Chain A
């Protein structure tokens, strides 16, 4: 079974530029999560999708961050414009359904904003 796929693995941009991350969850997993991980910290949830519906986006900074999961499978997380403080690892995870506690993570996208 293929794991969670994320791209790109690394991204370097200048501040004020836009950036997008893509995630393909494990096949059959209805719930998809985006996490932010800063250096020396544990992952923190940004947004959680149940199929195509965002069921928890309370931690997503909506002034510059947006996400979509149009067909309930792949998802895209966008930052526009990026700020220096956005430099971090962005992790995508999936689980079979909401209430299935075990989440499986992708390798992450490491973002550096200069």
Chain B
């Protein structure tokens, strides 16, 4: 069965700092990869997704992620975070027909103004 690991459970940054959140998955076949964000009091929202093609994908709000197949990783990055990026971030993998997602445990990001 596939699994997703997010090793950073809590991250605290100051505004303008760079962000990188790790995501590793365990599945040997073709995968589709996602990052979701949950802002305080709001629904889960899709930040970005990778299906195929360029392994560097860009999402909303200046986020990007890089798929490194050899490392089974899909790390999320942002060059300069803002206070409004304070949220919980979830990496998710799809490796089956349909759209079942396997989520990681999430990373809580706090950005200090």
A associates with B: no
**B interface residues, Cβ below 8 angstroms from A:** none
**A interface residues, Cβ below 8 angstroms from B:** none
